[in-house]
Amino acid sequence: MRVDPLKRLIRYDHKKRTLALGQAGDGFKALRITEVTVNLASTLQYQTSMADVTVTGLAAGDVVLAVNGKSAALTDGAILFGRYKSANTMCLTFFNGTAGTYDPASQTFNVVWLDLT
């Protein structure tokens, strides 16, 4: 019986919310998704603010791909991005590109990262 090569290379674990590609030792370990709740600081026009956020499993060498609002949308001109800071910690940077001070309410975000470790 022939096994589809894609079934051997793509593994999805619904409970862990991970997608793994390749065989052990190939490419990245998994594509991970987790939820975090953050209350971003009030930020002046055209300025940035940062917040350290716990992301369990994030390790040196991992790459944060996206941070997307889950519970509420940010206003137009507001931009979020994340980067690895230390073990289990992401630095979330918020840029306020609006016409005035912006103070978003506490909200939940999806964080997507490549687990390379």
Question: Mean pLDDT score of the chain, rounded to an integer?
Answer: 84
Q: Are 101 and 41 in contact (CB under 8 A)?
A: no
* Model pLDDT for residues 46-86, shown as the tens digit of each residue: 999 999 999 999 999 898 999 988 767 788 888 999 999 99
DSSP letter for each residue of the chain = -PPPHHHHHEEEETTTTEEEESSTTSS-SEEEEEEEEE-PPPB-TTEEEEEEEE-TT--TT-EEEEEEESSSPPPTTEEEEEEEEETTEEEEEEEE-SSS-B-PPPEEEEEEEEE--
Q: Are 34 and 82 in contact (CB under 8 A)?
A: no
Q: For a pLDDT cut of 70, what percent of the chain falls above it?
A: 80
Which residue is it, tokens 């103070």? 103
pLDDT band of residue 4 (cuts 50, 70, 90) is low
* pTM assigned to the model: 0.74
Which structural domains are found in the chain, ordered by start? 5-115 (2.70.40)
pLDDT band of residue 6 (cuts 50, 70, 90) is very low
Residue with the bigger pLDDT between 47 and 115: it is 47
Gyration radius of the chain's alpha carbons: 17
Q: Would you say residue 107 has pLDDT above 60?
A: yes
pLDDT band of residue 8 (cuts 50, 70, 90) is low
Residue with the bigger pLDDT between 10 and 70: it is 70
Q: Would you say residue 22 has pLDDT above 90?
A: no
